[in-house]
Amino acid sequence: MKCNYKIKNIDCVNCAKKIEDYLNKDANISNASINYSTLNISYVTNIENSINYVNKKIKEIEPDTYIYDKETKEENYFYDYLNLVLGFILATIGIFIEMPYYINYILIIIGFILLLKRSATLAFKLIVKSHQIDENFLIVISSIGAFLINEKFEGLMVITLYEFGKILESKAINKTRKNVSALAKIKEDYANLKVNNTYKKVLSESVKVGDTIIIKKGERVPLDGIITNGITYIDNSSLTGESKLVSLTIGDKVLSGSINKGDIIKVKVDTPYSDSTVNKILNLVENASENKAKTETFVTKYAKYYTAIVLVLAVLVGIFLPVITNYTYSDSIYKALTFLVISCPCAIAISVPLSYFSSLGFASSKGILIKGSNYLDGIKDIDTIVFDKTGTLTKGIFHISKINILDNKYKEEDILRLFKIGETYSNHPIAVSLVKEINIDVSDCKIKDYKEVSGLGIEYKLDKQTIKIGNAKHVNSKEKEDNTVIYISVDENIIGSIVIEDTLKSEAPEVITKLNNMGINTKMFTGDNLEVAKDISSKLGIKDYKYNMLPNDKYNELTKILKKKSNNKLVAFVGDGINDSPVIALSDIGFSMGGVGNDSAIEASDIVITNDNLKSLLTAIKISKKTNIIIKENVTFAILTKITILILSVIGIASMWQAVFADVGVTIITIFNTLRLLKGRYYEKNK
């Protein structure tokens, strides 16, 4: 079974990676994954109540780290600030105010101890437990080294600015976590359960399928179900990103996480709490870190080696610089210490995963659920998008475009009446759409022997007459098979036909035009005939289309496209997530449209567009490209700044002050640059 918990006292990305690797080596645990940005941990195990077992394993390498299943209070930085301020004041007094030398040294040492306490403790634990070093060790060595070569104030500023930067860094990351964790608020913990003739407030997870609950005005829907009483307006914005209220009545489906904005309604629960829509969405967001982008994986994998290499290079600088230059050993040690400070990998190690996490959170707030940073990263490389037609490019809501009279004994109203009488009993999407369109009362009609013939149509008896409604084969017509024509026969005599037409989504032409302008190849697969496919594609501007396709035809054709693609380009398929599940799963990146509450959509696809709006494709592409830009900006800025100050340090221009900026300053700047990904207006720039 899969377990999800929160994790406490993780200090860096490397620590998270180390725990992941250690847990995955255990025979009782698999697929362990830690999201440093959200402090979530997930793993698969057969152990009941595994939290104690996993905590025992974690403490073998990280004694202060543990997992838990309840939220804790927001981080309190009071003692961090107290140590920082008190340590800085005491050390500064000891350095600049003349007193007996032993008092000066005592004040300086106490000040350094207070300032170095956190970093030294973390560095020492890591060395003892894992025989590894990290940036905390580099900073501690640099500060103590500066003190020993009589650069006390610079050593003081290194550790002061570093600790202050870590506090700002932690607050910035917590801000990101808070923004994304706001999604959890869409889950309602309690439900008003009907018990006999009264209603009792109970935990949502205790409600069973078949139970009846009531949702009052302003309340959030706790579980998925069918409205059995009442008419209301529902706010689905937390699920789909769309602010427009949806009108619902008896028989309509209502989804957990939405808000009742109208009158009180009664709902019959049809889905267990664990499988509810809101739980699916939250699980997708929380577990997105399991599928990490190559960039993110590279950073977490090699950061520990980078730190060790930096330390070796610093030692070499300290030892051999006086040999090849006129510098003294005091100068070379100073430059080696400066090199240690400059080379800390914080900016890259933190900003890269934080960038992906911020974008995943923003996308989910817009109704775009992306299953991992690898898919988010891949969207920008999409070269070809293949669209399903019905329910994707079109609304999947059919209407009557023409009525053909084939027997003069009947009028249009007679044909529509017979059609509605029979199709009222059908759950087929086309039948449901057309029945709503026909404004004829058939409530007093009594039929017998109603049956549906799979793949053909329906049949029923009315006043001793046998009525058949369906395709040409079903009514024995000699006409060419056409999915857009529905025939009606009475006692084997074809009396007429109805020509139906699907409706294009209003945003479809604009989306296809923009994709074409971006250089993305657009294609369409449809089971409809040539005429329908040609008409739809011409209206949208899609030049490449395939028609009369069965599911296996779509699969085989997409396989051919994948074989011909460029190595660095990806092929996406966009479908409704039900009939198109095989091709969605086959594509490099599969999109499901209108996937809220749809098990097939969430299982098969890599990205679920919950609001059923094609413009979300453009938004997803924009988010992917903007995320890539931010990551490149952060990495480029960090590397160039560090190299520049390193060179200036070697030639004697830069000191530890600039080195601190190259580490702490760059880290803070890259974090705040990354936080732009949480702001909607950032994506509106340079459209």
**Which residues does residue 459 pair with via DSSP β-bridges, in sequence order?**
451, 468
Whether 263 is catalytic is: no
Residues 340, 119 contacting (CB under 8 angstroms): no
Across 471-566, where does the E strand assignment appear? 485-490, 493-504, 521-525, 544-546
User: Token pair for residue 146?
Assistant: 């500066």
SS3 of residue 420 by DSSP: helix
SS3 of residue 210 by DSSP: coil
User: Token pair for residue 549?
Assistant: 């396709």
Apex 473 CA angle, 467 and 474, nearest 5: 25
Strand duo 29-35 + 66-68: pairing: unpaired
> Which DSSP symbol is given to 219?
P
The Cα–Cα gap between 467 and 445 comes to: 13
Beta carbons within 10 angstroms of residue 528's beta carbon: 21
The amino acid occupying position 419 is: F
Place of tokens 């430059």: 335
Q: Which residues of 123-133 are buried (b: 16+ CB within 10 A; e: fewer)?
A: bebbeeebebb
The Cα–Cα gap between 251 and 230 comes to: 10
> Which DSSP symbol is given to 73?
P
Alpha-carbon distance values, 666 to 120, 168, 301, 455, 649 (Å) = 22, 12, 22, 64, 17
Helices (H), 97-236: 101-130, 135-148, 152-181
DSSP-derived secondary structure for 298-353: HHHHHHHHHHHHHHHHHHHHHHHHHHHSS--HHHHHHHHHHHHHHT--HHHHHHHH
The Cα–Cα gap between 190 and 207 comes to: 9
Give backbone dihedrals phi and psi of 395, rounded to 5 degrees, phi first: -75, -20
- Best CA proximity match to 83, nearest among 123, 112, 122: 112
> Which DSSP symbol is given to 288?
G
Which one from 388, 576, 580, 588 is the annotated catalytic residue?
388
Question: How many residues are given for the chain?
Answer: 687
SS3 of residue 370 by DSSP: strand
The Cα–Cα gap between 375 and 290 comes to: 11
The Cα–Cα gap between 604 and 578 comes to: 9
21 CB-near residues (< 8 Å, 6+ apart):
none
Active site residues: 388
